[in-house]
Amino acid sequence: MEENYNVGRLFKGGLAILKKKLQDINFAIIGLGLIGGSYAKALKNLKVKNIIGVDSNPIVAMMAKDEGVITETCIDSMEALQRADVIICALYPDAVTDFVKENVQNFKKNIIFTDVMGIKGDLLEEVDKFLGPGHDFVAGHPMAGREGQGYGQSAAEIFNGSNYIVVSRAQNKEENIAWLKSFAYALGCKDVVEVTPKEHDEIIAYTSNLPHVMAVALVNSESMNSNSKHFIAGGFRDATRVADINVALWADLFMHNRKNVVAEITKLQKQLGIWERALATGDREGIEHMMSIAKEKRKELFNAKNFR
């Protein structure tokens, strides 16, 4: 990462925050779990001078401060948020609105508020109800992560080479959208894509929600028994890796995006139906055709240019 990365140099006008070097921007990170902790560690690596950390567990916040990952905690009071130029809310979806409602009085006038939620839906509008006129909620979704959860699993490196989704809306200031994109690149992300909330939720239902449904369903199949573990190799491990799931978080994600997830399950059932008929009728040619198409699509998706 470039230590003197100056996000502000990309803009000639706009809010005062956009004229600051990244290192001089005051950040607040709400929730120091896997993603929030990784933001804090990445910002530390980027030599950001002021990083305010908030976590429901005061021990986690103190640990982050003792390690020098954050510079200030909000254990006894949220007044430190008054100094934040950018607030990154790394909470579960159902907790974001409550946090804003309870603490917006400590947000200064012109801030960029962003999130990491894997679902947007009507949650963005719910948060908007409590933000002030000078608060710009530019939604985001870093496509970064790893197995496990909590601050202990966080690492600055999870952003390296990952994708970052900027979920823009009509009321967002163009300069703030551009700032968030530049910030994502500063973190180490490879590609930054801008979409609408509707596009985000529809696509994420297929690329993220559905694989988790499939992994859980596969592990919960009645075929799983005490002998199954002796027949497991790479294919089963890869297909079920995400079944080691953060239950509370993913229950939020599934429920808020259930319409789109149901639509993707229906599409998958259609594909499984084609397989079932081909196998039942002994249609070898049809089976080979389906596999050949999938093989080429996956090669194209994960070739050296697109996946590095």
Query: Does 239 have pLDDT greater than 50?
Result: yes
Same fold flag, 7-195 and 200-301: no
Give the Cβ contact number of residue 106 at 10 Å.
17
Q: What is the pLDDT of residues 173-205, one digit of tens each?
A: 999 999 999 999 999 999 999 999 999 999 999
**Does 223 score more than 60 pLDDT?**
yes
Region 7-195: CATH code: 3.40.50.720
Tens-place pLDDT, residues 102-141:
999 999 999 999 999 999 999 999 999 999 989 999 999 9
pLDDT at 4: 43
Q: Which CATH architecture has domain 200-301?
A: Orthogonal Bundle (1.10)
* Predicted confidence (pLDDT) at residue 15 exceeds the cutoff of 60: no
The Cα 91–Cα 29 span in angstroms is 10
Domain boundaries, the chain: 7-195, 200-301
Residue 9 in contact with residue 127, Cβ under 8 Å? no
Which tens digits make up the pLDDT trace of 51-63? 999 999 999 999 9
- Confidence at residue 17, expressed as pLDDT on a 0 to 100 scale: 61
On average, the pLDDT of the chain sits at 91
C-alpha–C-alpha distance, residues 120 and 139, integer Å:
8
pLDDT in tens, 207-217: 999 999 999 99
pLDDT band at 206 (very low <50, low <70, confident <90, very high): very high
Instruction: Give the residue-averaged pLDDT of 252-270.
Output: 97
How far apart CA 172 and CA 195 sit, in angstroms, is 13
Residue 27 pLDDT class (50, 70, 90 cuts): very high
Distance CA(178)–CA(189), nearest Å, equals: 15
Looking at residue 158, its pLDDT comes to 95
